[in-house]
Amino acid sequence: MLNELLNFTCKQLRDKIAGGSVKSVDATGAVLDQIEKLDPDIGAYISTCREQALETARSIDKKIANGEPVGALAGVPIAVKDNMCTSFGATTCASKILQNFKSPYDAYVIDKLTGADAVIVGKCNMDEFAMGSSTENSGIQQTANPWDITRVPGGSSGGSTAAVAARMCFGALGSDTGGSIRQPASFCGVVGLKPTYGRVSRFGLVAYGSSLDQIGPVTRDVADSALLLNVISGRDERDSTCVSKDIAGDCDYLAEIDKPVDGLRIGIVSEFNKGADADVQKAIVAAIDVYKQLGAEIIEIEMPHFEYAIAAYYVIATAEASSNLARYDGVHFGHRTSAPKDYVEVYSKSRAEGFGSEVKRRIMLGTFVLSSGYYDAYYLRALKVRNLIRGDFTNAFAKTDCIMMPVSPTTAFKKGEKTADPLQMYLADVYTIAANLAGIPGISIPCGFDASDLPIGLQILSDVFTEDKLLRIARMFEAKTDFHTKTPTVIA
């Protein structure tokens, strides 16, 4: 039997806890029990912090009992992807090279969560260094999709989305470099938001592709997504790419979440949809019909450079990764090989032993495209194509409020189905990657199920720094449908 406390959204739970009708320690206990019950089969958590979570919950309950003011997530149990540094427990990035790494500081988003009185319950599994689309590249453990445990949860934030779907937390943070929040959210039937690049500080996020990485919320509904974005966004002087309020705007995303966007103009590229499985196509068409019934205007747009996004991405992201991951040198932190014959081996053997094969593949590709003689042909050309892709979006948003398309061409695939051919795995990112190259925000919301009862996600993209509008558009659909209220049978 599901503990009924677990049915509350973050917002509902926070209001109950702040109002004194529910104790955080009970909600936290329910989450920890749920983890104990389900996580042996799901594998969403790399680590949990039971005692610390209960202690935090008790201290928040005490604050409330004393009539002290509490934050926007008071007493709400939240999980974070294990590439966000925490000064408690380990921060592994699901890599053997960081298996015993204990961060001396908290990431900005951790500061923000604890500042809002959230209760952090654990750290979620992911593809190693966030490189992957199925969480199968984790060097620590495998994660199952709560809707069908023979299938992947998507990736790379698959632990975060599986934890939310299986009610093993009320909300979670993921990170999105090429779709790593949106695609697993779609596979797990939850809401995943990638904010505008620069909206959320990357301080304390283990770097993969620094010009693409962005942290965002994974939640059960759109209002919770707005609530979490309220908490984690904002200027941070420790991330020079984190944008100030005069550029990024400053608003309460939750305040007008139920206000529909008047005269909504939705851009679509009919051809894109045809690349998806029949069930996915059907669900996307039906979702857009819901918006039509709400009075939205559908505008056919052209995005001539969209099809080059995967090629450009795997040059740019791997180039940045090869540089970022140079810091794993066997000297400062992380794994060191046991008997190096010289200092070069400290480097090359420690890395060989610590990194998994996808990480090695991307370091190799990134090093190659940056190497002498190939830089102009690959890296520079990819940066130019990135500009063309951004131009496609600029043109599209001149005449639309948002663009809608699938999140992924398929629903959750079987474990092991795509691991043999890395290129095939990359090609599955076709719909999500362009948003990262252009820096725009994107959201995945539940919009249907396929013939096997696996969730399908609708992707909505909007212009930079328009998350307020994006969330309202997403909420318009959610208010008219009940897909987001469906739950996997595993939790019943």
Partner 1 sequence: MAKKIDETQVRKVAKLARLELTDSEVGQFSGELSAIIEYIEKLNELDVEDVEPLAHCLPIHNVFRDDVVKPSLDNEQAIANAPDRHDGYFKVPKVLDDTSGA
Catalytic residues, which ones?
A: 81, 156, 180
What span, in angstroms and rounded, lies between the C-alpha atoms of 283 and 269?
Answer: 15
Q: Which of 397, 407, 406, 441 is nearest to 265 (CA)?
A: 397
CB-nearer residue toward partner 1: 291 or 314: 314
Radius of gyration of the chain (CA): 21
* 302 phi and psi angles, rounded to 5 deg: -115, 135
> And the tokens for 469?
């509008």
| Candidate ranges 72-80, 279-287, 347-355, 404-412; the one touching partner 1 (CB under 8 A) | 347-355
CA–CA distance, 145 with 142 (Å, rounded to integer): 10
Which of helix, strand or coil describes residue 330? coil
In sequence order, the β-bridge partners of residue 459 are 405, 444
Q: How far apart are the first and last CA of the chain?
A: 6
Q: Of these, 31, 131, 301, 464, which contacts partner 1 (CB under 8 A)?
A: 464
With respect to partner 1, which residue has the nearer C-beta, 229 or 369? 369
Per-residue contact string for residues 388-407; x = within reach of partner 1 by CB under 8 A: x-x-----------------
**Whose Cβ is closer to partner 1: residue 59's or residue 210's?**
210
Piece of the chain touching partner 1 by CB under 8 A; list 41-49, 107-115, 183-191, 344-352: 344-352
Q: Which of residues 89-148 bind partner 1 (CB under 8 A)?
A: 100-102, 104-105
Q: Which two tokens stand for residue 192?
A: 């995943």
Residues comprising the chain, all counted: 492
Judged by CB under 8 A, which stretch of 55-63, 155-163, 166-174, 382-390 contacts partner 1? 382-390
Using rule CB under 8 A, residue 285 touches partner 1:
no
Is residue 36 within 8 Å of 22, Cβ to Cβ? Answer: no
Number of residues that bind partner 1 (CB under 8 A): 69
Give yes or no for residue 351 binding partner 1 (CB under 8 A): yes
The beta strands (E) that lie in 92-159 are given as 119-124
Among positions 189-208, residues that touch partner 1 (CB under 8 A) are 197-198
Closest CA to 356 of 141, 175, 201: 141
Q: Which of 132, 94, 7, 38 is nearest to 487 (CA)?
A: 7
The residue from 360, 395, 419, 481 that contacts partner 1 (CB under 8 A) is 360
Measured from the CB atom, is 329 or 450 closer to partner 1? 329
The reply on whether position 437 binds partner 1 by CB under 8 A is yes
CA 11, CA 21: separation in Å to the nearest integer? 14
Instruction: Report whether 11 contacts 227 (CB < 8 A).
Output: yes
Check residue 336 for interaction with partner 1 (CB under 8 A): yes
Contact present, 123 and 81 (Cβ < 8 Å): yes
Query: Which is closer to partner 1, CB of 285 or CB of 331?
Result: 331
Among 327, 384, 414, 480, binds partner 1 (CB under 8 A): 384
- Applying CB under 8 A, which residues contact partner 1? 100-102, 104-105, 197-198, 211, 237, 240-241, 243, 305, 308, 310-312, 314-315, 322, 326, 329-336, 340, 342-349, 351-352, 355, 357, 360-361, 363-365, 367-369, 371, 378, 380-388, 390, 422-423, 426, 437-439, 464
